[in-house]
Chains A and B, each alone.
Chain A
Amino acid sequence: MINISEVNETNKMIEKENLDVRTITMGVSLLDCIDESTDKTCDKIYNKIVSCAVNLVETGNKIGAEFGIPIVNKRVSVTPIATVGGACARSTDDFVRIAKSLDKAAETIGVNFIGGYSAIVSKGSTKADELLMNSIPEALAETDYICSSVNVGSTKTGINMDAVRLMGDVIKKTAERTADRDSIGCAKLVVLCNAPDDNPFMAGAFHGVSEPDTVINVGVSGPGVVKYALEAVRGESFKVLCDTIKKTAFKITRVGQLVAQEAAKRLDSEFGIIDLSLAPTPAIGDSVADILKEIGLEHPGAPGTTAALALLNDQVKKGGVMASSYVGGLSGAFIPVSEDQGMIDAVEVGALTIEKLEAMTCVCSVGLDMIAVPGDVSAETIAGIIADESAIGMVNQKTTAVRLIPVCGKTVGDNVEFGGLLGHAPIMPVNNFKCDDFVNRTGRIPAPIHSFKN
């Protein structure tokens, strides 16, 4: 039987070390909502989401209360809307109407985000994909709950540079359309390479076409728990360090597994995956940067950061994989800037630059995330950054992503406050040497060779 010290250990993680389940995300297929009429498509989408996920929030809250673990977010992801709206949408306005229908459904069921306003264009774009991408600035400005993502490349297909170029422009326009709110629209827009079909985390969550009708995916968290566990092994060998991270990741993930099983059963859905992520929040003690400091860095960005992050990412996966029946999503350590107080501090003292963050994305779970840059950065420069990040993902067979916020009217030295989980961030300088002639070439970068690994 469970003993008192085990009970105390679990409750200390929850009460003092910010252990929580970051999100229960219900994936809902909208393939059966495809219709030639935009009005009918909107109605079908609204009805499908509400009927499948009406009990999601209440069920999540109940499970949280029964196990005594906070379940911070309840969310929905849907089939990429470019696919769903392809049969009816004749203009960007038609897609914006669909966005509003999704937004209304999210409000009705009480989730805080709905993901899947997305297009998968890794090899090429359909007419509908292009309309959707061009509708993103307005869709994000006119809605509250929508998250949008575009997959522009993959290891198997190469990188669609036409889409990369377009997304540079779309990010700029999204920033301008939400300029009155510090360009917050861009915080809900991510450009991916090798995007997974089952990611529960926003802004990149969508319900891939390979998925069942409904599915429950759960994202666990707990950087604070790993940080506190490492405090007890300061100065010990890498073996002890790695074992401690693995054991802690195992324990954290078991909680996610339990919550996912229970939620799937109660919501009459399939259990999809656990996303084994260390997802920070702006709260003190809930930081991936603090783990890197505990491993031995003065600040993230110092020499050794990439190695420390590689080690952390790998041990989290090794510990978590055995704790769950199915693992997927983005699994690993997230390194967003604005959502992690330790990262913000590192930028403010000059330890962390975008170039170092780019190196870190080679070994972290995703990519350049929640980075505020000057509002006058050009669309071509943003496209160049997306291309670089996609190339890292394509060549290394991993998911990478870019979520940059070119904050209108602000420049290096200013700060931006997004509020809530999105946090705040200092504006980071960007290398402004031009790449226009590179990104303005048309077509795609071919898929890389899968041999001669050097």
Chain B
Amino acid sequence: MKKCVITVVGNDTVGIIAKVCTYLADNGINILDISQTIVGGLFNMMMIVDISNAQTDFEDINKSLESLGQDIGVVVKCQREEIFDMMHRI
């Protein structure tokens, strides 16, 4: 399994989760966990996904999500999960 963390931060609007999830489904990326909160009045979502069966590589996924985010006015980032594991788990 190749886990990544996708974060979405920005002003809340209709269809943010739908658009991100549609992209993931279209590209064979499986969602393992989703959580959402409001931080400082901003919409804040985190998804843990598995990209091991993705139809495209990490670089493309990251770029596509970034431009998808720009289209709907939010910042979307995709990072490999290890950076969070290393920092927060011994």
Interface residues of A, Cβ cutoff 8 Å to B: 1-4, 6-11, 62, 65-69, 251, 254-255, 257-258
Contacts and interface: CB of A to CB of B under 8 A. Distances in A.
29 contacts: A1-B48, A2-B5, A2-B88, A3-B46, A4-B35, A4-B36, A7-B7, A7-B46, A7-B84, A10-B87, A10-B88, A11-B7, A11-B77, A65-B62, A66-B58, A66-B80, A67-B80, A67-B82, A67-B83, A68-B78, A68-B83, A69-B83, A251-B87, A254-B86, A254-B87, A255-B83, A255-B87, A257-B86, A258-B83
B84 A6 contact: yes
Contact of B83 (A1, A4, A10, A62): A10
A257 B83 CA distance: 10
B39 interface: yes
B44 interface: yes
A8 B79 contact: no
Listed from nearest, the 4 A-B pairs whose CB atoms lie closest are A68-B79, A67-B83, A254-B86, A4-B46
A8 B44 contact: yes
Interface of B: 5, 7, 32-33, 35-37, 39, 44, 46, 48, 58-59, 62, 77-89
A171 B88 CA distance: 46
A55 to B, nearest CB: 16
Contacts of A254: 86-87
B39 to A, nearest CB: 7
B35 A67 contact: no
A38 to B, nearest CB: 43
A228 B7 CA distance: 22
B66 to A, nearest CB: 11
A197 B15 CA distance: 55
B29 to A, nearest CB: 15
Interface of B is mostly: strand
B53 to A, nearest CB: 18
A247 to B, nearest CB: 11
A10 B35 contact: no
Contacts of A8: 7, 39, 44, 46
Most central of A66, A69, A257 by chain B CB within 10 Å: A66
B26 to A, nearest CB: 22
Contacts, number: 61
Given A8-B44, A258-B82, A68 B77 contact: yes
A4 B88 contact: no
A258 B85 CA distance: 10
Most central of B83, B85, B89 by chain A CB within 10 Å: B83
A142 to B, nearest CB: 39
Nearest to A262: B82
Given A1-B33, A66-B58, A6 B80 contact: no
Given A2-B85, A4-B36, A68-B77, 13 more contacts: A2-B5, A2-B81, A2-B88, A3-B46, A4-B44, A7-B46, A10-B83, A11-B77, A67-B83, A68-B83, A251-B88, A254-B87, A255-B83
Contacts of A255: 83, 86-87
Contacts of B44: 4, 8
A261 to B, nearest CB: 9
Contacts of B5: 2, 7
Contacts of A4: 35-37, 44, 46
A4 B42 CA distance: 14
A317 B59 CA distance: 35
B80 A10 contact: no
A62 B85 CA distance: 19
A251 B88 CA distance: 7
A69 B79 CA distance: 9
Contacts of A11: 7, 77
Contacts of B48: 1-2
Nearest to A257: B86
A3 B47 CA distance: 9
A70 to B, nearest CB: 12
Contacts of B58: 66
Contacts of B86: 254-255, 257-258
Most central of B7, B86, B87 by chain A CB within 10 Å: B87
A3 B83 contact: no
A254 B89 CA distance: 10
B81 to A, nearest CB: 6
Contacts of B37: 4
